[in-house]
Chains A and B, each alone.
Chain A
Amino acid sequence: MRPARRVSEVIFLLQVHWILAGTASAATDSLSAQNTISAAPLAATPAGRAASDLAATTAPPWNPPSALPRRRMWERIVLLPQRIATLPLSAVGWAAEHALTAVEPYAYTIHRAAPGDTSQTRFRMAISPSRFDERTPFCGQIEARSTLLKGRADLVVAHTASTRHYHDTAVQLPGLLTFDYHYRWRPRDLFYGVGMRTFEDDVTTFGTGVHQGRAILAYAWNRESGGRPRSNLVGWIGPRTLVTRRGHEPGDPSIELGFPDVVSETLDRRLLHATYGVRMVRDWRVGTPHWGTGWRAVMETERFDVAKGVLAAGFSGARGAQFTRSTILLETGISFMHDPRSIRLLGRFVDTGLSGGRDRMAVIDLPSLGGDAGLGGFRPGRFHDLDLIHARFTYVFPLLQKVEAEMHVESGAVLGDLWHDFQIDRMEQSWGFSVRPRSRYQLLGSLGFDFSRESTRLRWMIGNPDP
């Protein structure tokens, strides 16, 4: 108690001094003219003064008899409680000012350390926003690059790990034909059941481990001046094994407890697929700092088939469900006024054609809605089924030079069959807004809320939030 009382005594005495310092010189506020030369406008002295005294004065300046307080005494008294209450904040401000003053002369070293073009860096470590799941805020990445075949090829090895123990290990040999291997471990994904008529309280959790090797052939054209291709076509082929595990989300039951039927044939069972697919992207969106006009279309189809012989490429596992997943995404936008206000419309359709092994369909292979996947007002993985329909209307408008706002409304549903089961009254809605800092040329991140009938969710992102 005694030290606390000492501190309060000192604070009190300082405040008293602060007030009294005002009274001592308050009389000078009236500013009676003493030893003062007055600057008279030319109108008052028609002849003007000699031009020789245009130089800065060297005479002692006019000053009141004592220092003027910044505040009158009544103002000090009124502000006293506020000042006492905010003393800790004042201390933080004082520390921040002095720290920045000390650090700023060396700030250029920080600018130098900022990541630039890292495509040719031999070894790199980075901490960045997570690439796995919006519930894992940050991830760390280690990447090493080595030159092979007398400089004709680069071998890239990277490992990424996030705060919820999500991991991704990648080995890539880029080139005209890119060889790519990934091992992904996702221990805490959420599952609420299949279809739209599921309940928030039925949440379960599951883990997934995926090994995938692919040979990728890509072709890009319609390059804009900056080098970014407006059109590209990508094809790939390779084996994949997948295993569904018990979930590790604290507080939520594991999937085999909530939905034993869904995972009866897949839990802890390594499933093997031969995958091959093609994706075509046409992207004619333009505008800064956010894209305002144009359109983009993404068409993708991928077959998950029985892996035999060379297609297995040494991978082993039981036969999984055979299916073809087709995705179509269409987006367009218009903008108006000088600092662009933009209206965007996005539509996305996913159709899964199941041709065999329905009971061995892995949960991770089901399209889902919720979180970043669409319907942001619902938790990630809130809805799962074979097909999906999702629409989003977005309005973007500027708030300040370096800040803009985004508002959106989403509607979507997962379905057993997009073509036969679709009913508009089964679609769920979500809406939200975000504030997005921006530079003159690009977006730097976003922070906002999404709402749905189930929850209000804080959403944030570092980096360009527009895909």
Chain B
Amino acid sequence: MRRLVRLGGRLVTVARVAWIGALFCIVAATARPATEAPKEREYSLLWDTVDNSFVRPVTRFFDEPLIGRKLTGHKREAANVDERDQVRLPSTWWQPRIGYKRVTVQQMLKGPGGTDGPAGRRWTVTSAKSAGVTPGFQIKDARGDRFLLKFDSPDHPELSSSSEVIGTLLFWAAGYNTPENTIVHFHPESLDVDPEATIKERLGQARSFTRERLAQLLSRVARRPDGTVRCVASRFLEGKPIGPFKYYGRRGDDPEDLVPHELRRELRGMWVFAAWTNHVDVRGPNSLDTWVTHGGRSFVRHHLIDFGSILGSSATAPRSLPAGTEYSVDNGVFLRQALTLGLVPFRWEGSVDPEIPSVGQIEAAKFDPRGWRPSDPNPAFDERTDRDVRWGARILAAFTDEHIRAAVGAAKHSDPRATEYISRVLIARRDALVKEWLGSAPAESAK
């Protein structure tokens, strides 16, 4: 026999009340503000590609409200802006710097850390990884600060490391949180191995790390003529790492994350800087949230990391020619090519290889300041409106030639042609973006 209770003047079964109660308990539990560090979360690179390149384009194709907004020209604007169309502050995503405050070249070069990389002449390796094209080491410097050493592919010396440093400085100056990345050179003999050090081998097993293994791994990285090794020293970020952020939705376990990421001006407007620096790999896995405690307050800070795949670099090799002109799976390009039997040239065809090994493949002549695209669709970029882009363009316009040349100079290319070429390309791409979106020269726009 079914038991009945009276609820809101109606008789309902006890079972139904239990169902509704359980449901609201679940909702309440998920909505409860976190009082401790959010749980560290993993992010699948492959899923990110599948989701953004295949699943989301299909769902967007059948998204009636989105289609309606597009047809009527009423795209949803960023949700965290004020009446002057500026990002509401404070923000744990973005800090007003160039364009909002006087940022000297020296201040930009100091960047997020304000130091020149690891201190002292002897560093201690505390752990290592052997997977990937190049190895990686975690070290402690003379002050006890921890850094990650990242190396160039032996086939493409200086390519990835220079991109990493240039990207770090430019994105930091634009207002984003980045790690402190510095070019360092060291003699292999100046590395000590911590007796407790371990190495994560290719198959995932951890072993104790020895001096001999260190020598083996260093034989896989590029050496300079004087025997030293060049690498990027990336200072560990402040706080506890809790995994990458996504460019859509909210982090449910962060009580201060109340604006869906795709509605954030900082992320939508980042398209401008990604286009400028050819950051085609701008996606969730190249970000990192940390749980920071300051003055008794704990909170999540959002960082951009891994700039080794920007400009002309794809981390271990030069960028492919199509990078920046189309998505890896680009439905529009696919349709155009299929309908014209491939007789319409791709936008990238005719691009010129600068033939400077440490530059890779980037140029300004074929740069499209309106149609630039990352490798995979980015949810926040997909939602961007002209107002978002103009917000970014105004910041970009405030980058002077001196800022750009100084950031490129920090990459310490051994080939002066590389420094000059990248500087010229970045200046030309900045001018193209600013002219396209603000309709005037950068110097005028910045005023």
Contact = CB atoms under 8 A, between A and B. Distances in A.
Interface of A: 6, 9-10, 13-14, 17, 29, 31, 33, 36-44, 48-51, 53-64, 66-72, 74-75, 78-79, 82, 93, 96-97, 100-102, 104-109, 112, 337-339, 341, 395, 397-403, 405, 407, 440
B20 A56 contact: no
The 8 closest A-B pairs by CB, nearest first: A397-B342, A75-B65, A100-B44, A58-B294, A62-B88, A338-B349, A39-B96, A37-B89
A398 B337 contact: yes
A398 to B, nearest CB: 6
B349 A97 contact: no
Interface residues of B, number: 85
Contacts of B447: 43
Contacts of A59: 90
Interface in B74-98: 76, 79-84, 86-92, 95-97
A190 B27 CA distance: 63
Contact of A400 (B79, B103, B250, B333): B333
Contacts of A68: 79, 258-260, 263
B201 to A, nearest CB: 10
A405 B338 contact: yes
B262 to A, nearest CB: 7
Interface in B29-87: 42-47, 50-51, 55, 62-65, 76, 79-84, 86-87
16 contacts: A13-B23, A31-B79, A37-B89, A38-B86, A42-B100, A49-B101, A54-B107, A57-B89, A61-B91, A61-B256, A101-B43, A101-B47, A108-B204, A398-B342, A402-B328, A405-B338
Contacts of B398: 42
Contact of A40 (B46, B97, B100, B249): B100
Contacts, number: 210
A48 B102 CA distance: 6
A109 B203 contact: yes
A44 B83 CA distance: 14
Interface centre among A79, A100, A112 (most CB of B within 10 A): A100
A405 B342 contact: yes
A11 to B, nearest CB: 11
B42 to A, nearest CB: 5
A56 B329 CA distance: 36
Contacts of B343: 341, 397
A64 B45 CA distance: 31
Interface centre among B63, B96, B112, B177 (most CB of A within 10 A): B96
Contacts of A10: 19, 23
B258 A63 contact: yes
Interface string B185-226: 000000000000000001110000000000000000000000
A93 B55 contact: yes
B202 A108 contact: yes
Q: Is the interface of B mostly helix, strand, loop or mixed?
A: loop
B19 A79 contact: no
Contacts of A54: 95, 97, 101, 103, 107
A405 B51 CA distance: 24
Given A33-B83, A54-B101, A67-B258, 15 more contacts: A14-B23, A17-B23, A33-B88, A39-B87, A41-B99, A42-B398, A50-B101, A53-B101, A56-B177, A60-B256, A93-B55, A108-B202, A109-B203, A398-B337, A399-B342
A392 to B, nearest CB: 18
B104 interface: yes
A38 B65 CA distance: 31
Nearest to B331: A400
Contacts of B89: 36-39, 57, 61-62
B90 A60 contact: yes
A400 B258 contact: no
Interface string B89-125: 1111001110111111001000010000000000000
A79 B63 contact: yes
A67 to B, nearest CB: 4
A397 B341 contact: yes
Given A49-B101, A54-B107, A60-B297, A70 B90 contact: no
B65 A398 contact: no
Nearest to B395: A41
Contact of B91 (A40, A50, A57, A107): A57
Interface string B384-400: 00000000001000100
Given A67-B250, A395-B341, A400-B329, A440 B320 contact: yes
A102 B43 CA distance: 9
B371 interface: no
A74 B44 contact: no
Contact of B19 (A6, A37, A66, A105): A6
B202 A51 contact: no
B297 A399 contact: no
Contact of A71 (B45, B62, B65): B65
B8 interface: no
Nearest to A440: B320
Interface centre among A39, A44, A50 (most CB of B within 10 A): A39
B330 interface: yes
A4 B254 CA distance: 36
A17 B28 CA distance: 11
A40 B82 CA distance: 10
A112 B205 CA distance: 14
Contacts of B357: none
Contacts of B88: 31, 33, 36-38, 62
A9 B259 contact: no
B137 interface: no
B267 to A, nearest CB: 14
Contacts of A9: 16, 19
A42 B99 contact: yes
B413 interface: no
A292 to B, nearest CB: 13
Interface in B307-365: 320-322, 326, 328-330, 333-334, 337-338, 341-343, 345-346, 349-350
B235 interface: no
Interface centre among B46, B103, B343 (most CB of A within 10 A): B46
Nearest to B263: A68
A102 B359 CA distance: 36
B367 interface: no
B342 A39 contact: no
Nearest to B31: A67
A82 B294 contact: no
B301 interface: yes
B84 A40 contact: yes
A102 B44 CA distance: 8
Contacts of B45: 104
Contacts of B203: 108-109, 112
B273 interface: no
B204 A63 contact: no
B258 A58 contact: no
B292 interface: yes
Contact of A39 (B20, B55, B86): B86
